[in-house]
Amino acid sequence: MNKYSDFVLRTITSILTLLAGLLSWISWSEWYAVKVKGEILGYPFGGEGPTPYYYKTADLYANVNLTWGVVFLFAFLFSVFALIKRRDKLVLISSVFTLLLLLVFYIHGKL
């Protein structure tokens, strides 16, 4: 790869890495707030209205957020590893993996 395309790939991967870290942190904090602290006021639990399926119960919501938190944490750590090792193939794989995760996360939220 030339220097320009390498710079672009690493920049995009860095942004995706930060996004994966942010989504992991948000998911973990939602899990902690609902499951550990029991803060369920203000959440539309019960599955009524235009909400995704995982709003049926607080436990289901917490488990879904825990799962996404672990998945995005893995994506974050894998991307950081790829960026530190400076292997173009790993960087590209981590970018594609994170983009696919974001797509699945978006679709999952619409169900």
Number of domains within the chain: 1
Q: What is the pLDDT of residues 25-61, one digit of tens each?
A: 999 999 999 999 998 888 888 867 788 889 899 999 9
60: tokens are 């289901």
pLDDT of 96 higher than 80: yes
**Quick check: pTM over 0.85?**
yes
Q: Is 110 or 106 the better-scoring residue by pLDDT?
A: 106
Q: What percentage of the chain has pLDDT greater than the value 90? A: 69
- Decide: helix, strand or coil at residue 100: helix
DSSP letters, 18-87, are HHHHHHHHHHHHHHIIIIIS---TTS-TTS-SS--GGGS-HHHHHHHHHHHHHHHHHHHHHHHHHHHHT-
Cα separation, 98 vs 13, whole angstroms: 9
Give residue 104's pLDDT band: very low, low, confident or very high (50, 70, 90).
very high
Cα separation, 61 vs 55, whole angstroms: 6
Amino acid 1: pLDDT:
62
**Domain containing residue 94:** 3-110
Q: What is the pLDDT of residues 78-89, one digit of tens each?
A: 999 999 998 889
Cα separation, 83 vs 81, whole angstroms: 5
pLDDT of 4 higher than 80: no
